[in-house]
Amino acid sequence: MDPVKVGLLGLGTVGGGTVNVLQRNAEEITRRAGRGIVVTHAAARDLNKPRICSTEGITVTTTPQDVVEDPEVAIVVELIGGDTLALDLVMRAIENGKHVVTANKALIAKHGNEIFAAAQAKGVIVAFEAAVAGGIPIIKAIREGLAGNRIEWLAGIINGTGNFILTEMRDKGRDFNDVLKEAQELGYAEADPEFDVEGIDAAHKLTILASIAFGIPLQFEKAFTEGITKITREDVTYAEELGYRIKHLGVTRRTDKGIELRVHPTLIPERRLIANVDGVMNAVLVKGDAVGPTLYYGPGAGDEPTASAVVADIVDVVRVLTSDPENRVPHLAFQPDSLSDLPILKMEEVETAYYLRMQAKDEPGVLADVTRILGDKGISIEAIIQKEPEGDSTEANVIMLTHTVVEKQMNDAIQKIESLDTISGEVVRIRMESLEAS
């Protein structure tokens, strides 16, 4: 049987890694897929740029449309990123009856509903394992391995840049801006790091995970995002004193009122395995009703870790090339006509616990005023730390941990606390998650 021919859109880090993995493991991959798989076409911006892979036997062009239109190409692998040209090319590939593999989380999060509808109509597959958490097979785990479960919630460290920054701040007592600069020098963060440090990248990925976990349409525009730019060394230190680690977490949970979909800095008990995921590594914790909590850990980026996921998707496509489209694993885990209309909750409707830090005048009655305001809003306190004023300062840092409460009540309480004459500046608020199995 002739090998299946693959066309790459993008021959950079991940594209080169994909070629290398397919060539190096060709014999093993053929045994798994039942047919050979070869890259025969590729599109790249610069034909003369040095590559991390051999392009021998590959027709390389600067016109990606040539790859999409070539009748020999059975599978198009989209690795150019963005959601403009990439969307046009993917939709054209589907129209041409070609299967698609992509590592593009923004494309799937923002346009996946449209893409999957077109793919279903044409009877082709769109595979996207590499779009979330790099080399960790989290999509397959939820969509297939946990198919017998009712997923209750999942929480993930799904952006390596943010995790690297918070790890350095904790381990070495460094400031955010100092670590961010190093992350850019090391290539972990872009020159414009907004997508990473403000949670947009993680929200793209969380949107995809929520959809396959709960069987809901992709709704990126409804995801709540909060970045890590305001996290200080002091907050990291105080969290440690209280037995917690701060992680930039993506959380999605099924509740009676709807689905939570949120990315923000989060205090996690230090004894949790996910709290000890450091550096640029990723991890996703999934709670199913039958299996309980399961943790998936590994590299979230890089040429061959991401290529591992891309190649796995290519193998899956090759395995089912001749199968009945109606009997394939659905793109979003649930049959397309069985997606739920559960609403995405607004952040003010979410219930969680909180870490609060405030600058308070070191005089009698201040704590009583603060606790009264919290009590009036139905907010109970789990722990309080008051730090002695430093030097000639007359203000002390007061840190509180609360029990769970609806965010709207906390917003109202913080507004009242900040209006007190004895409180300086804004109250720092970081959400907390216990991530318990029960």
User: Would you put residue 302 in left (φ > 0), alpha (ψ -120 to 50) or beta?
Assistant: left
Residue 190 phi/psi, 5-degree rounding, is -75, 165
What is the spatial distance between Cα 126 and Cα 184, in angstroms, rounded to a whole number? 32
Residue whose C-alpha is closest to residue 125's, from 337, 318, 317, 327: 317
Which residue among 110, 140, 205, 287 is the active-site one? Answer: 205
User: Would you put residue 109 in left (φ > 0), alpha (ψ -120 to 50) or beta?
Assistant: alpha
Cα atoms in the Cβ-side hemisphere of radius 13 Å centred on 323: 12
Measured CA angle at 106 (ends 334, 15), to 5 deg: 100
CA distances, 100 to each of 75, 95, 96, 113, 139 (Å): 6, 11, 11, 15, 16
Pairing relation of β-strands 224-225 and 244-254?
Answer: unpaired
**129, containing H or E segment:** none
Find the Cα–Cα–Cα–Cα dihedral 127, 341, 353, 177, rounded to 10°. 40
According to DSSP H, which parts of 123-256 are helical? 138-140, 160-172, 176-185, 194-197, 200-214, 233-241
What sign does the CA torsion over 420, 422, 427, 432 have? negative
Residue 212, C-beta contacts closer than 8 angstroms, at least 6 positions apart = 139, 142, 143, 332, 333
Q: Is 377 a catalytic residue?
A: no
What sign does the CA torsion over 62, 68, 70, 73 have? positive
The catalytic site residues sit at 205
